[in-house]
């Protein structure tokens, strides 16, 4: 049986969702018989393969210009896109920044903080620019929503197992939580 | 001049890219580690009640949420002006040991391990944790269990493995049951053996690769970490000790006074700030933290097996600090052993199942600093509140930030050693990434301020035009 190709990436995120993926423990090792990890933050391929993957997974909110590119590339290269975790699903804790003026927030971080000496706001062309924080579905179409901060390993396992077996996952009970 | 860009940097936590600038002769001139993410926690927590911080700040980082949970709680203790009872402090430290075990073990087996176990030049398609599983399934299964063991300690105390809910101002919100204590204890000796096995694997690697170790980003800095009154390694609480490159102690201070000693510098090309020792100024006052920094400043480790390894660690440099970046891996595993031994000590303490777990408080003092040693180094939370306990100022200095200069320097040194502009190979670029990976950077943490870590290498002409770009897709 050919393995199901999966790609993952993170946006403005904390890596908690990725840790919850690892929290599948031995079940993750078993899943690896059925899925092939392509680009992920824990492997060394940097972008989803050009010829596409079946499942794309994004965690984190969109809050800078680099995130926009990552989201669009993932959508173009995957058949089924999963928004993993509260930040990807509805913006999550990252949206708290939206209640403040961006320049004031940057000034606090890089100039006014008590320990900062002679600060400046980083603005090199090498860096992405911050934008209003949004969930993934404000940029591209999302096929599967998996909320939680982070979603439990059980919920992630359920979703991946259903997809591997050719069904669209439905979340109910303990697997559907928003914290 | 040409520029090489590596983006994204992988097997690190967060988003970054590296640019390597070449001179007209195609040799490396300078290299930069750009941390490309900023989220704004220091601003958007303003106006929130202080007691929300132990729940908000873990969302800075899902790998070490416990560090933020505990630093926040310690800062909150100060905000309300009380000391938690001893059982609460033991339970907080136990949760911290669970986190050190899961984070350090994951780094060795899942993030850095592929380089060490499979080789820097291994095919990037298999140079990952899946490759490790295929190459050594028995070791891999043990690694999975060890990480799960650390996570389960966190869950038993805080009901969740990630972003737990346990510490509160003045203590913790739940005791440890005897049943849970006994369950953890029943596994602890087996898990200790797994850590010892990892140390044996690492030592075997060092024995066969001393030339690499001695030529891979070796440079002098100062070092910083928490110690107790006898100079013993501490991870939950203590005094901050700063030592120079020869191991001479320059400062020992109460973290409440961190502003007298630590400043942060900003560069235009990174969202990650650069902390430094204020009395020496920037950039002379740079230091390293994390496992290498901590073992370089400590005089001893207070648990027997880890202390035996520590003596061996110290003997490598004849008692002087070790300067080689790749020694971080050995130091990390020694701390892993300490964490598991210390967890056992705590679990055997009669106070650990006590229900005296929180001290009441009446008002707010208006200010507090919380400091612990996160897996990746010293973490400082500093809050100011109004009379009602609403936050007015929040300052966070996060572990990976202290190592920002060191990571940038390591990248530049490794680039100069291994990258020849005339022919780029994937393995060369991976060595540049490995230099960053050795510091186990947590860029989500460090860019609470804004953050992400991908890797691109670009070749840039002296006039700034990009003539070539290498990525791995």
Q: What HEC string does B331-369 produce?
A: HHHHHHHHHHHHHHHHHCCHHHHCCCCECCCCCCCCEEE
Structure confidence at residue A163 (pLDDT): 95
Structure confidence at residue A96 (pLDDT): 95
Testing the interface with A: which of B17, B20, B39 to mutate, by most A Cβ within 10 A? B39
Measure the CA–CA gap between B248 and B320, rounded to whole angstroms: 9
More confident residue, B228 or A2: B228
| Pair of tokens at residue A80 | 């089924």
**Chain A residues within an 8 Å CB radius of B46:** 100, 108
More confident residue, B465 or B402: B402
Measure the CA–CA gap between A34 and B149, rounded to whole angstroms: 26
Please name the residues in contact with B186: beta carbons below 8 A apart, sequence gap of 6 or more.
none
Within 10 angstroms of residue A175's Cβ, the number of other Cβ atoms is 19
Chain A stretch 32-61, residues whose beta carbon is closer than 8 A to a beta carbon of chain B: 32, 37, 39, 41-50
Residue whose C-alpha is closest to residue A12's, from A122, A107, A116, A97: A97
Closest-CA residue of chain B to A39:
B473
Structure confidence at residue B401 (pLDDT): 86
Measure the CA–CA gap between A84 and A121, rounded to whole angstroms: 31
Q: Which fold has domain B84-217+324-360?
A: Cytochrome-c3 Hydrogenase; chain B (1.10.645)
Give the one of B32, B129, B393 whose C-beta lies nearest to A42's C-beta.
Answer: B129
Please name the residues in contact with B76: beta carbons below 8 A apart, sequence gap of 6 or more.
B50, B51, B53, B54, B168, B169, B170, B368, B370, B383
Structure confidence at residue B448 (pLDDT): 47
Mean pLDDT rounded to a whole number for chain A: 93
Say yes or no to pLDDT of B9 above 80. no
Structure confidence at residue B454 (pLDDT): 38
Question: Does residue B459 contact residue B468 with C-beta atoms inside 8 Å?
Answer: yes
Q: What is the pLDDT of residues A56-99, one digit of tens each?
A: 999 999 999 999 999 999 999 999 999 999 999 999 999 999 99
Give the one of A11, A19, A110 whose C-beta lies nearest to B63's C-beta.
Answer: A19
Q: What is the pLDDT of residues B69-89, one digit of tens each?
A: 999 999 999 999 999 999 999
Say yes or no to pLDDT of B472 above 90. no
Testing the interface with A: which of B6, B43, B114 to mutate, by most A Cβ within 10 A? B43
Give the alpha-carbon dihedral of B308, B403, B98, B207, to 10 degrees. -40
More confident residue, B320 or B26: B320
Structure confidence at residue B446 (pLDDT): 45
Structure confidence at residue B11 (pLDDT): 63
Say yes or no to pLDDT of B449 above 50. no
Say yes or no to pLDDT of B473 above 50. no
Lowest average pLDDT, out of A35-44, A128-137, B207-216, goes to: A35-44
According to DSSP, residue A61 is labeled B
Structure confidence at residue B86 (pLDDT): 98
Testing the interface with B: which of A26, A39, A56, A127 to mutate, by most B Cβ within 10 A? A127
More confident residue, B407 or B37: B407
Structure confidence at residue B313 (pLDDT): 97
Lowest average pLDDT, out of B146-160, B216-230, B292-306, B449-463, goes to: B449-463
- What is the mean predicted confidence (pLDDT) over B87-109? 95
User: Chain B within 8 Å of A20 (Cβ-Cβ)?
Assistant: yes
Please name the residues in contact with B349: beta carbons below 8 A apart, sequence gap of 6 or more.
B90
Q: Give the pairing type, strands A35-37 and A4-10.
A: parallel
Beta carbons of B40 and A109 less than 8 Å apart: yes
User: Chain B within 8 Å of A86 (Cβ-Cβ)?
Assistant: no
Beta carbons of B7 and A46 less than 8 Å apart: yes
Q: Helix or strand or coil: residue B242?
A: strand
More confident residue, B428 or B167: B167
- CB burial of B311-326 (b: ≥16 within 10 Å; e: otherwise) equals eebbeeeeeebbbbbb
User: Chain B within 8 Å of A28 (Cβ-Cβ)?
Assistant: yes
pLDDT tier for residue B462 given thresholds of 50, 70 and 90:
low
Structure confidence at residue B13 (pLDDT): 62
Q: What is the pLDDT of residues B120-168, one digit of tens each?
A: 888 877 777 777 777 888 888 888 899 999 999 999 999 999 999 999 9
B287-288 sheet: strands from edge to edge: B249-253, B239-243, B222-227, B287-288
pLDDT tier for residue B463 given thresholds of 50, 70 and 90:
low
Give the H or E element holding residue B178.
helix B178-208
Residue whose C-alpha is closest to residue A68's, from A16, A145, A135, A124: A135
Q: Give the pairing type, strands B222-227 and B287-288.
A: parallel
- What is the mean predicted confidence (pLDDT) over B264-290? 94
Q: What is the pLDDT of residues B34-65, one digit of tens each?
A: 887 788 899 999 999 999 999 999 999 888 89
Give the one of B10, B36, B147 whose C-beta lies nearest to A22's C-beta.
Answer: B147
Structure confidence at residue A178 (pLDDT): 86
Cross-strand partners of B469: B458
Give the one of A15, A28, A114 whose C-beta lies nearest to B61's C-beta.
Answer: A15
Closest-CA residue of chain A to B32:
A126
Lowest average pLDDT, out of A44-58, A133-147, B218-232, B439-453, goes to: B439-453
Beta carbons of B273 and A14 less than 8 Å apart: no
Question: Does residue B324 contact residue B218 with C-beta atoms inside 8 Å?
Answer: yes
Q: What is the ipTM of this complex?
A: 0.93
Structure confidence at residue B146 (pLDDT): 95
Measure the CA–CA gap between A45 and B100, rounded to whole angstroms: 28
Measure the CA–CA gap between B404 and B79, rounded to whole angstroms: 30
Measure the CA–CA gap between A115 and B395, rounded to whole angstroms: 8
* Complete domains list, chain A, with CATH: 4-95+130-175 (3.40.50.700)
Structure confidence at residue B31 (pLDDT): 85
Residue whose C-alpha is closest to residue A133's, from A58, A49, A79, A64: A64
Give the H or E element holding residue B310.
helix B304-316
Question: Does residue B424 contact residue B4 with C-beta atoms inside 8 Å?
Answer: yes
Mean pLDDT rounded to a whole number for chain B: 89
Question: Does residue B433 contact residue B18 with C-beta atoms inside 8 Å?
Answer: yes
User: Chain B within 8 Å of A85 (Cβ-Cβ)?
Assistant: no
- Any idea where the domains of chain B sit in the sequence? 1-36+419-473, 84-217+324-360, 220-323
Structure confidence at residue B1 (pLDDT): 59
């Amino acid at each position: 049986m050919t393995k199901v190709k999966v790609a993952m990436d993170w946006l403005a995120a904390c890596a908690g969702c990725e840790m919850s993926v690892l929290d599948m423990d031995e079940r993750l090792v078993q899943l690896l018989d059925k899925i092939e990890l392509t680009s992920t933050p824990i492997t060394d391929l940097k972008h989803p393969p050009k010829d596409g993957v079946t499942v794309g997974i994004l965690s984190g909110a969109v809050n800078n210009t680099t995130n926009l590119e990552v989201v669009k590339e993932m959508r173009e290269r995957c058949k089924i896109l999963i928004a993993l975790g509260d930040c990807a699903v509805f913006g999550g804790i990252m949206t708290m920044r939206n209640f403040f003026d961006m320049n004031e927030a940057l000034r606090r971080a890089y100039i006014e903080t008590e320990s900062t000496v002679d600060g400046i706001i980083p603005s090199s062309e090498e860096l992405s620019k911050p934008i209003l924080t949004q969930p993934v579905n404000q940029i591209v179409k999302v096929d599967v929503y998996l909320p939680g901060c982070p979603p439990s390993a059980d919920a992630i396992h359920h979703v991946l197992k259903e997809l591997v077996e050719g069904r669209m996952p439905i979340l109910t009970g303990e697997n559907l939580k928003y914290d | 001049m040409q520029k090489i860009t590596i983006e994204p940097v992988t097997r690190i936590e967060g988003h970054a890219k590296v640019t390597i600038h070449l001179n007209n002769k195609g040799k490396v001139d300078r290299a930069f580690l750009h941390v490309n993410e900023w989220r704004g926690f220091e601003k958007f927590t303003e106006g929130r009640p202080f007691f929300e911080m132990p729940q908000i700040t873990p969302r800075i980082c899902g790998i070490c949420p416990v560090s933020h949970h505990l630093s926040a709680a310690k800062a909150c203790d100060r905000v309300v002006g009380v000391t938690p009872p001893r059982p609460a402090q033991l339970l907080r430290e136990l949760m911290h040991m669970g986190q050190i075990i899961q984070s350090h073990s994951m780094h060795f087996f899942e993030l850095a391990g592929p380089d060490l176990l499979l080789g820097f030049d291994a095919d990037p398609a298999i140079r990952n944790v899946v490759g490790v599983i295929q190459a050594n399934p028995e070791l891999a299964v043990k690694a999975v269990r060890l990480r799960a063991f650390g996570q389960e300690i966190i869950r038993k105390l805080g009901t969740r493995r990630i972003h737990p809910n346990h510490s509160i101002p003045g203590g913790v919100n739940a005791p440890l049951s005897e049943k849970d204590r006994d369950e953890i204890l029943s596994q602890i000796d087996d898990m200790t053996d797994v850590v010892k096995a990892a140390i044996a694997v690492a030592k075997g690697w060092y024995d066969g690769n001393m030339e690499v170790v001695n030529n891979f980003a070796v440079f002098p800095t100062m070092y910083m970490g928490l110690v107790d009154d006898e100079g013993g390694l501490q991870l939950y609480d203590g005094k901050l000790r700063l030592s120079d490159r020869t191991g001479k102690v320059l400062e020992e201070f109460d973290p409440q006074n961190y502003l007298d000693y630590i400043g942060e510098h900003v560069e235009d090309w990174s969202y990650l700030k650069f902390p430094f020792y204020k009395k020496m100024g920037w950039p002379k006052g740079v230091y390293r933290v994390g496992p290498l920094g901590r073992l370089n400043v400590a005089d001893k480790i207070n648990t027997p097996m880890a202390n035996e390894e520590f003596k061996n660690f110290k003997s490598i440099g004849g008692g002087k600090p070790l300067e080689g970046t790749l020694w971080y891996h050995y130091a990390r595993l020694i701390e892993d052993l300490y964490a598991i031994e210390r967890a056992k000590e705590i679990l055997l303490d009669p106070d650990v199942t006590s229900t005296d777990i929180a001290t009441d408080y009446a008002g707010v003092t208006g200010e507090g600093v919380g400091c612990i040693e996160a897996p990746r180094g010293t973490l400082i939370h500093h809050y100011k509140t109004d009379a009602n306990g609403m936050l007015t100022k929040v300052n966070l200095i996060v572990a990976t930030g202290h190592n920002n200069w060191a990571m940038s320097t390591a990248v530049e040194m490794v680039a100069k050693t291994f990258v020849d502009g005339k022919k780029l190979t994937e393995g060369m670029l991976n060595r540049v990434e490995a230099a960053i990976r050795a510091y186990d950077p947590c860029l989500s943490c460090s860019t609470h301020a804004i953050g992400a870590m991908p890797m691109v290498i670009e070749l840039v002409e002296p006039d700034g035009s990009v003539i070539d770009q290498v990525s791995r897709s």
